[in-house]
Amino acid sequence: MLTALAAVILPIIAHLIFRRRSRPVELGTLRFLKVAVRRDTRRRRLKRWVLLALRVGCVVLLVLLFARPYRAEAVGGGDTGLTVILIDRSASMDRKRDGERLVEHALKKLPDVVTRTSSRSRVEVAWFDSKVEPVGQSEDGRVSLADLKAPAALTGGTDFAAALTWAGARCEAARGGGPLAVHVITDLQRTGFGSLDTLVFPKDVPVHVWDVGPAPTTNVAITEVRPTSLMVRADHPTTVQATVLNARPERLDQRTVRLSLSNRGKVITLPGVASAAPGAATTVTFETPPLGPGLWQGTVSVAGEDGFSIDDARHVAVFAAARPRVLLLDGAARDVAALGEAYFLERALGLAPPGETVPDAPFRLIVFPYGPEARLPDLREVDVLVAANVAGFPTADAERVKAFLDRGGSAVVFGGGNLTPGSGAGYANAGLAVGAIGGNHAARDVPFRISEFATDHPVLAPFADPQHGDLHRLTFSGCTRVTPADGVRVLAKFGDGTPIVLERQTGAGRVLWCAASVGREHGEWSRSRLFLPLVHQLVRGATGLTGAGPVRDLPARGEVPGVRSVGAGWEVRNLEPQESELEACSAEEFAKRLGVPLASGADESVIEAKKEQDGLELRAGELWPWVWLMLVLCWLAEGLLANRTVA
């Protein structure tokens, strides 16, 4: 109807054709008549302009009256049926068409979607990528579309299955209350179907697909970056591999790819080249120089411009771990080393006979006999404090240990006969306590065995695979009984429920307890093959260097891509690789793969019938009564002025 606005040219043409033309007439000297004529001419000119404006206004208002405008700023307050509107906000919707992002085009589709919705239907709107985020409603259940703004950053992966599962659940909850419908506004990305095994959607709810995608977009992307390991040994080189996707119809030849890493002001830049056939991917390998201690973070980027720049670079981080400095306090030292408490523990951590060192040993170890008369050495050059069968700590030493933990240091405590209920105060003052110490707990008829352990904890996770060793095979003749305090996690326990491995966080550091003696007091477990890997895991776990280390590689899932500090570690967030494959599917393929009923021509006729029925009543935000009132007033004013004005 708005094309009928071209009719405004008619009154303009009429005014141009029938405008009054002046004809000069020679008269005598009529000085006062000239003044009167001049004033009357100005009034008539003004009246003619006002008359033209009124007539043009009548035409415009008449067109708007038939177009029936309304404000689409609030929908969803009805009580008959349910309409769910899903708006794609995945990373691929960040592409541009006609100078605007696709997500902006999606918002412009909302008025068209609303016109296909009964005014009596309740409307729910939600954004979706790999997760669904409903748009907030007011107290009366209405959704304000005028306030709906597109997100500034689009980084999530498309998951149609998750979005339709959520919409299907909403429709099932509203079943029996009227007609149901789902509208999906998306770019129909072919790789965005998600996990179809988890899709649950009613077979009788029509799905309307609104395609806002652009013409096919050529794209060259970094889809994956794989360091050999997220944690490497300091002062050692590593390898980083990057996958380059050529989603173009032509071949990719010698395209520049660059790895850039930085740490404390030092920058490493390594060049590479990529070549790939149309639609194929290739791998570029970078060999780094030795990396100094600390976190090395940066990007792998590919040169050139395309229609989707967000995937031209991918973030990467590698933690170069220096060997932890370990201070071992031997609480039951002997003149004969083999009889001391920490003999087997020292061998496990040092991987060398007494007095010798191994260049590639995982720890820098110092052994310190710690008895009643001894005093702690300087802890400023220590990363992990290991206490083996230590009876307790004098006040001065306890304060130094507490300060060490407050600075971010960590500790591992092993049990033994020297730990009695009287030791609890010293351990508590030092910040090493994980609960009440109950003294020695001896096995009676059969030895203790570990019955349960936390397979999800980084320290014990390797032992969840029997190929790495079965902790259930370890036997103990006893242990130091510990009653866990609040906030302490039990990582492993015996069959009778007695804790054997416990953990407590202490700010940036942590305290781990193994309630068994590392000597022979609590059995021969220190001679088993599992002793060395378990001890290494405990000490590494205290410093946060277990598993892949403090770096985690995660999908963006709506977060801004990059490397950020989280607790004692770092997260590397990147775009999901499938978002770089921009090929679109048809609405029919969309419905077939998801197994949902696509709205057909019959559905459209039902919608039109509903629209005709809705036309008999006022919709929310109707403007035509006001347009009618303005048209009547404009028409009356035009009639009054036309009778007093010569066209």
Mean pLDDT within 485-510: 90
Instruction: Find out whether 471 and 441 touch, Cβ atoms under 8 Å.
Output: no
> What CATH number corresponds to the domain at position 426?
3.40.50.880
Q: Write the burial class of residue 486 (CB in 10 Å: 0-12 exposed, 13-18 middle, 19+ buried).
A: exposed
Which DSSP letter does residue 291 get?
B
Range of the domain at 154: 74-216+583-614
Amino acid letter, 602: A
pLDDT at 398: 94
How many other CB atoms are found less than 10 A from the CB of residue 431?
A: 22
Instruction: Please check whether residue 415 lies inside any domain of the structure.
Output: yes
Q: Span 265-287, mean pLDDT?
A: 94
What average pLDDT does this structure show over 156-176? Answer: 93
What distance in Å separates the CA atoms of residue 548 and residue 458, rounded to the nearest whole number?
Answer: 9
Q: Are residues 317 and 186 part of one domain?
A: no
* Same domain assignment for residues 418 and 390: yes
**Is the pLDDT reported for residue 305 higher than 50?**
yes
Question: What does the pLDDT read at residue 608?
Answer: 44
Cβ neighbours, 10 Å, residue 396: 9
In which element (H, E) is residue 261 found? strand 252-263
Contact indicator for 382, 326 with CB cutoff of 8 Å? yes
- Tell me, what DSSP letter sits at residue 337? G
Let me know whether 361 and 488 are in one domain.
yes
| pLDDT the model gives residue 621 | 62
Q: How many CA atoms lie within 13 A of 244 on its CB side?
A: 30
**Cα dihedral 530, 536, 542, 546 sign:** negative
Label residue 224 by pLDDT band (50, 70, 90): very high
Whether residue 73 is predicted with pLDDT greater than 60 in this model: the reply is no
pLDDT at 631 over 80: yes
In angstroms, the Cα distances linking 308 to 219, 300, 580 are 6, 16, 8
| Residue 62: both structure tokens together | 């008449």
Query: How many angstroms separate the CA atoms of 590 and 134, rounded?
Result: 22
The verdict on 311 and 431 lying in the same domain is no
- Mean local confidence (pLDDT), 232-241: 93
- 600: pLDDT strictly greater than 80: no
List, in order, residues 6 or more apart from 469 with CB less than 8 Å away.
462, 463, 529, 530, 533, 534
**Which ranges of 68-109 does DSSP label H, i.e. alpha helix?**
102-108
Residue 232 and residue 112 in one domain: no
Tokens found for residue 554: 């995660």
10 Å Cβ neighbour count for 393? 25
- pLDDT at 237 > cutoff 70: yes
Mean pLDDT of the 234-238 span: 92
Query: Is the per-residue pLDDT at 96 higher than 80?
Result: yes
Minimum mean pLDDT range among 483-497, 528-542, 593-607, 616-630: 593-607
Residue 14 is predicted with a pLDDT of 80
Task: Give 394-414 pLDDT, tens digit per residue.
Answer: 999 999 999 999 988 999 999
The SS3 of residue 119 is coil
Mean pLDDT of all residues in 243-272: 94
Report residue 647's pLDDT band, with 50, 70 and 90 as the boundaries.
Answer: very low
- Out of 303-307, 575-579, 600-604, the most confident range is 575-579
Answer yes or no: is pLDDT of 616 > 70. no
Q: What percent of the chain has pLDDT over 70?
A: 88
| Buried b or exposed e, range 596-631, using 16+ CB within 10 angstroms | bbebeeebeeebeebeeebeeeebbeeebeebeebb
In this structure, the number of other CB atoms found within 10 A of the CB of residue 348 comes to 20
Q: Give the DSSP letter string of 531-597.
A: HHHHHHHHHHHHHT-STT-SEEEEE-TTSPSEEEEETTEEEEEE--GGGG---B--HHHHHHHHT-P
pLDDT at 382 over 70: yes
Statement to judge: residues 455 and 488 lie in one domain: yes
Looking at residue 614, its pLDDT comes to 46
Is residue 613 over pLDDT 50? no
- In Å, what is the CA distance from 352 to each residue of 328, 383, 386? 15, 20, 18
Whether the predicted pLDDT of 33 surpasses 70: no
The candidate with the shortest Cα–Cα distance to 541, out of 564, 510, 516, 514, is 510
Q: Kindly give the residue spans of alpha helices, DSSP state H, lying in 245-362.
A: 343-350
Would you say residue 468 lies in a domain? yes
Q: Percent of the chain, pLDDT > 90?
A: 49
Q: What type of residue sits at position 438?
A: G
Which run of H or of E encompasses 633?
helix 624-642
- The average confidence (pLDDT) of the chain is 86
Q: What's the CA gap between 457 and 125, in Å, rounded?
A: 40
- Write the secondary structure of 457-484 as one string of H (helix), E (strand) and C (coil): CCCCHHHHCHHHCCHHHCEECEEEEEEE
Decide: pTM greater than 0.85: no
What average pLDDT does the segment 81-105 reach? 92
Please count the other Cβ atoms lying within 10 Å of the Cβ belonging to residue 124: 22
Average pLDDT over residues 110-127: 85
601 has a pLDDT exceeding 70: no
Compute the 3-state secondary structure of the chain and give helix, strand, coil in percent, each to the nearest 5.
Answer: 30, 30, 40
**If residue 406 lies in a helix (H) or strand (E), which one and from where to where?**
helix 395-406
- Do both 349 and 458 map to the same domain? yes
SS3 112: helix
- Range from 194-198, 243-247, 388-392 carrying the lowest mean pLDDT: 194-198
pLDDT of 429 strictly over 70: yes
**Are residue 417 and residue 502 in the same domain, yes or no?**
yes
Among the ranges given (181-185, 338-342, 361-365, 431-435), the one the predictor scored with the smallest mean pLDDT: 338-342
Dihedral sign for Cα atoms in the order 54, 55, 61, 65: positive
Q: Which one-letter DSSP state was computed for residue 43?
A: H
Q: Of 71-75, 521-525, 554-558, which has the strongest mean pLDDT?
A: 521-525
With respect to residue 619, please indicate whether it lies within any of the assigned structural domains: no
- Note the pLDDT of residue 31: 60
Nearest Cα neighbor of 524 from 441, 448, 465 is: 448
Mean pLDDT of 622-627: 82
* CA atoms within 13 Å, Cβ hemisphere of 503: 20
DSSP tag of 519? S
> Once rounded to an integer, what is the mean pLDDT over residues 79-107?
91
Name residue 208's beta-bridge partners: 183
Name which of 57-61, 202-206, 546-550 the model is least confident about: 546-550
Residues 386-394: what's their mean pLDDT?
93
Query: What is the CB neighbour count within 10 angstroms for residue 586?
Result: 12
Which residues touch 224 (CB under 8 Å, ≥6 apart)? 242, 243, 314, 577
CATH number at residue 226: 2.60.40.10
Report which of residues 68 and 268 the model is more confident about: 268
By mean pLDDT, which of 15-19, 216-220, 393-397, 444-448 is the weakest?
15-19
* The pLDDT value given to residue 485: 94
Quickly state the pLDDT bin for 602 (edges 50, 70, 90): very low
Note the pLDDT of residue 604.
43
Contact 308, 319 (CB under 8 A): no
Q: How many domains does the chain have?
A: 4
**pLDDT band at 78, cuts 50/70/90?**
low
More confident residue, 38 or 560: 560
How high is the pLDDT of residue 513?
95
Q: How many helices (H) and strands (E) does the chain have?
A: 12, 31
Is residue 153 in some structural domain? yes
- Residue in 352, 349, 394 with CA at minimum distance from that of residue 376: 394
647 lies in some domain: no
What type of residue sits at position 163? A
Mean pLDDT across the stretch 36-50? 74
d(CA 316, CA 257): 14
Backbone angles phi, psi at 642, to 5 degrees: -65, -35
- Considering the domain architecture, whether residues 99 and 123 belong to the same structural domain is answered as yes
Between 116 and 437, the higher pLDDT residue: 437
What band does 646 get if pLDDT is binned at 50, 70 and 90? low
Same domain for 444 and 350:
yes
Binned at pLDDT 50, 70 and 90, residue 64 comes out as confident
Residue, of 645 and 382, whose pLDDT is higher: 382
Question: 254 in the Ramachandran plot: left (φ > 0), alpha (ψ -120 to 50) or beta?
Answer: left
In this structure, of 61-65, 148-152, 354-358, the range with the lowest mean pLDDT score is 354-358
Whether residues 607 and 528 share a domain: the answer is no
User: Same structural domain for residues 42 and 150?
Assistant: no
